[in-house]
Amino acid sequence: MSFELFISLRHLKSKRAQKFISLNTWISIGGVALGVMALIVVIAVMSGFGKDLRDKILGTNSHIVVTNITRSGMDNFESVITKVMQSEGIKAAAPFILNQVMLTFGSKSSGVVVRGVDPEREAMVSDLEKNMIQGEIGMLKRSKKAKAGSRHDNIILGKELSHKLGAQVGDAISMVSPVSRLTPMGLIPKIKLFKVVGLFESGMFEYDSSLAFISVQSAQRFFAMKGKVSGIEIRVEDIDRADQIAELLQENLGFPYYVRDWMRMNKNLFSALRLEKIVMFIILILIILVAAFNIVSTLFMVVMEKTKEIAILKSMGASRTSIMKIFSFQGLIIGLLGTLIGCVGGFTIVPNLNEIVGFIENIFGITAFPSDVYYLDKLPSEIQYMDSFLIVVFSIVICFVASLYPAWRASRLDPVDGLRYE
C-alpha cells in the first residue's frame, strides 16, 4: 500500500474533534449510493416495461405486415405468400382481414376491431394460441354440421371485451357492419350472428377490450371480399432484424405492396418510451452530481482541517503529485464505496419490485397500476448489465473528477503558510 492511499484512508477516519467531517463523508457516500441505486432500478423498470410491452404487442400481432395500397384488398395473396416465404429470415406467413364492426349482446354494444385469420396458420405467425384462456383457435372453423344449416359463424373475444358485453363462451352475439346495403326499404346495415367459442388474454388492455377474431372465410363472406384479404402477416426468426427483412421484402415485392415491421407500426409508442428512459437517466444523473458537489465540499473541509498535516508532509519531501493523490484517492474511495452500496441495493430491489409495490398497495390501500390506465398489471423489470456497467463507470468517474480541484488546491498549499497559522 502506497503512503498516499494510507493517508487517504486515515483522513476518512475522523477523530473525535472532527466528527462532522466523518458525517459529511458518509453523506457523500450515501448520495452516490442513492443515485446509483435509483439509476439501476429505473433503467431496469424502463427496460422491463419496454420488453413486456413488446411481447404483449407481438403476442397478438405479427412481426411484419404486407398490404396492398392501391386496391380494396389483396386477391393474389397465395402467390405473394409463396414469394415471401422464399426470402431469408422468414419463419411463417398467413393471410388476414382487418375491419371495424359493432358487436352487440343484449342491451350492450361495443365498437371493436375484428380480425379474420386462418386458424391453421395463425398459430405460426402470432402467439394467439398461447394467449387463449378458453377454447382454441381451431374452433373458429365451422363444423360440417354448421356449414349445412347454422345461422352463425364462430368468434373469439378478448377477455375484457367479453366482460364489457357480458357475453361468455356459448353465447350468440350480433356483428353489425358499418357498411350498409341498399334495399327497397332503404339502407340497412349488415347484421350476422356469431357464436363465442373462445376467449383470449394478451395482458394488454387495449387489445383485450377491443379486438375479436373470426375465420378468414367468415370475414370474406361478411365483408363481401370473396377471394380477397386485407394483407399478409409474417413472422421472422429474429425480431431485432424485422426492419431489415421488411426493407428487403419491400424491394422484392415492389409496387403496389407496402411492407411494415412491428417497430415502424408502433414507432410513436417505443420512441416515447426511449425518450422517457433518457430523461429519467438525465434526472437521476443529477442526483450523482449533487453527491459529487457534496464530495467537493467534504474534501475542501478536509483540506482546511488537514492544513498542518499537508505542510508537514511537504516539509518532509512529499511532492505536489503525492498531495494530489492523497485527496484524489479520498474522492475515489467515496465513489467506489457509494457505487458498491448502490449496486448492492439496486440488484437487491429489482428482483423484488413487485413484492415491494404489493406491500405499499396493502399499506395505503391503493392500486398502483389500474388496468384501464396502464398497459400492464404488474411492474416488469429486467436488469440491463451493460447499462449498469456504464452507470458504475460514470459514477466513479464523476466522483474522481469532483475530487481533482480540492486535491489541486491542497497540492498548491505553501508549507510555510500551513505551519504559520497553526
In the numeric block, which cell numbers belong to residue 154?
364462430
Residue 137 lies in a domain: yes
- The verdict on 221 and 290 lying in the same domain is no
- The verdict on 115 and 238 lying in the same domain is yes
Q: Which of 254, 277, 301 is the last residue of a domain?
A: 254
Residue 66 lies in a domain: no
In the numeric block, which cell numbers belong to residue 361?
398497495
Residue 65 lies in a domain: no
Q: Which of 254, 285, 310 is the last residue of a domain?
A: 254
**CA dist., res. 335 & res. 31, Å (int):** 10
- The verdict on 18 and 162 lying in the same domain is no
Return contacts of 8-16, CB within 8 angstroms, 24+ apart: 8/326, 8/327, 8/329, 8/330, 8/333, 9/333, 11/302, 11/306, 11/326, 11/330, 12/330, 12/333, 12/334
Residue 313 lies in a domain: yes
Nearest to 249 by CA among 125, 94, 87, 92: 87
Conformational region of residue 247, where left means phi above 0, alpha means psi within -120 to 50, and beta covers everything else: alpha
- The verdict on 282 and 404 lying in the same domain is yes
Which structural domain, as residue segments, surrounds residue 205? 71-254
- The verdict on 29 and 52 lying in the same domain is yes
Residue 63 lies in a domain: no
- The verdict on 40 and 138 lying in the same domain is no
Q: What are the pLDDT tens digits along the chain (422 aa)?
A: 676 777 776 666 655 545 545 677 777 788 888 888 888 888 888 788 777 777 777 777 788 888 888 767 788 888 888 888 888 888 888 899 988 899 999 888 888 999 999 888 888 888 888 888 888 888 887 655 554 445 678 999 998 899 999 889 888 999 988 776 666 666 677 888 899 999 998 877 778 888 999 999 888 888 888 888 888 998 888 887 888 888 888 888 888 888 888 878 777 777 777 777 777 778 777 777 777 777 777 777 777 766 777 777 777 777 888 888 887 888 888 888 888 998 999 898 888 887 887 788 788 777 666 655 565 666 778 887 888 888 888 888 888 888 888 788 777 777 666 555 55
Number of domains composing the chain: 2
Q: Which of 195, 229, 254 is the last residue of a domain?
A: 254
- The verdict on 23 and 94 lying in the same domain is no
Residue 264 lies in a domain: no
Residue 20 lies in a domain: yes
Which pLDDT value is given to residue 148?
A: 45
- The verdict on 291 and 372 lying in the same domain is yes
Statement: the pTM of the whole predicted model exceeds 0.85: no
The crossing angle, in degrees rounded to 10, of helices 77-85 and 242-253 is 130
